[in-house]
Amino acid sequence: MAIQWFPGHMNKAKKAVAERVKDIDVVIEMLDARLPASSANPMIAQLTRGKPALKILNKQDLADPQRTRQWIDYYKGKSHTQAIGLDAGERSPAKKLIDACLDLVPNRGSVDRPLRVLICGIPNVGKSTLINSMTGRRVAKAGNEPGVTKGEQRIILADGFWLFDTPGMLWPKIIVEQGGYNLAASGAVGRNAMDEEEVALELLAYLGQHYAKELATRYGLKEDVETLRDEELLEAIGRRRGAMLGGGRVNMQKAAEIVLTDFRAGAIGRITLETPDEWRVWEEESKAR
């Protein structure tokens, strides 16, 4: 497998979540709308089986709106599951979130019987940003690099609505190979656990097939993007951007950094790297391996 990313201190988080979940009515899992399945943590599914679930597809401002709708429909088709799209620009995220939870557990939500919700998600998915915007203060640290530890806390979002933050960190476990590449492309994997050129090539192979127009526009490519191999695409982008070594050769590492930085910032366009159908196929393939 190309991306290896199994950092430590998972067991502690696992135990803490298992303990916490006993008194929880709804489990919210925050996902990255650009890669909903890849950014899910299989351990969360395992620990919270049978609990009503709300999937938040976050950073929807960066994702392909049509595909976000597909994913929301996909999750809503599962039993006891709700799904909403969200991004940091949302005006009243708390209301949207509370409404979706009440929809799942309508008999709670009063002062006597508060709705108790646990929010989890892999690092960098935007959990602190959301909590901060809902509480109007900085209760959790937001940062660009994965790996900042945050303590457990109960947040009273409204009368009869308690939100618990996940104790400890829940990292993604990479089972599906393409999922590893998608996580790496999104910036959720530490730089030392990935080869940027390899990740950029995988990303370009996908974008060349599904977002050729966006690529051509962003980099002013005259070539027929869909017919180019991933190396040829990276090279063409490097040339357009002046990422050159001596002797007219393209600096592929530099070109890879440009592509990854642009993708993460949404500069290539609103892009989603997987659909429910594609994910199903990738999962089958990884089982067959």
| Binding flag, residue 172, ligand GDP (CB under 6 A) | no
CA dihedral of residues 119, 124, 126, 131 (deg, nearest 10): 60
Q: Which of 38, 41, 128, 275 binds ligand GDP (CB under 6 A)?
A: 128
Q: CB 180 → ligand GDP: shortest distance, Å?
A: 19
| Binding flag, residue 58, ligand GDP (CB under 6 A) | yes
Please tell me the distance from the alpha carbon of residue 166 to that of residue 173, in angstroms, as a whole number. 17
Neighbours of 14 (CB within 10 A): 16
Please tell me the distance from the alpha carbon of residue 89 to that of residue 92, in angstroms, as a whole number. 9
Planar angle of CA 196, 199, 204, nearest 5 degrees: 120
Handedness of CA 168, 129, 179, 276 (dihedral sign): positive
CA distances from 20 to 12, 101, 152, 157, 168 (A): 12, 18, 10, 18, 12
| Binding flag, residue 82, ligand GDP (CB under 6 A) | no
Residues 223-242 that bind ligand GDP (CB under 6 A): none
**What is the identity of the amino acid at 266?**
G
Q: Which two tokens stand for residue 133?
A: 């915007």
Q: CB 88 → ligand GDP: shortest distance, Å?
A: 4
Among the residue ranges 119-127, 151-159, 220-228, 242-250, the one whose residues contact ligand GDP (CB under 6 A): 119-127
Q: Which of 20, 127, 218, 270 binds ligand GDP (CB under 6 A)?
A: 127
Query: If binding means CB under 6 A, how many residues of this protein chain bind ligand GDP?
Result: 17
Q: Which of 14, 61, 177, 231 binds ligand GDP (CB under 6 A)?
A: 61
Q: What's the Rg (C-alpha) of the chain?
A: 20
| Binding flag, residue 133, ligand GDP (CB under 6 A) | no
3-state SS, residue 108: coil
Query: Which C-beta is closer to ligand GDP: that of 62 or that of 243?
Result: 62
| Binding flag, residue 59, ligand GDP (CB under 6 A) | yes
| Binding flag, residue 121, ligand GDP (CB under 6 A) | yes
Site string for ligand GDP, 138-157 (x = CB under 6 A): ----xxx-------------
Residues forming the site for ligand GDP (CB under 6 A): 58-59, 61-62, 87-88, 121, 123-129, 142-144
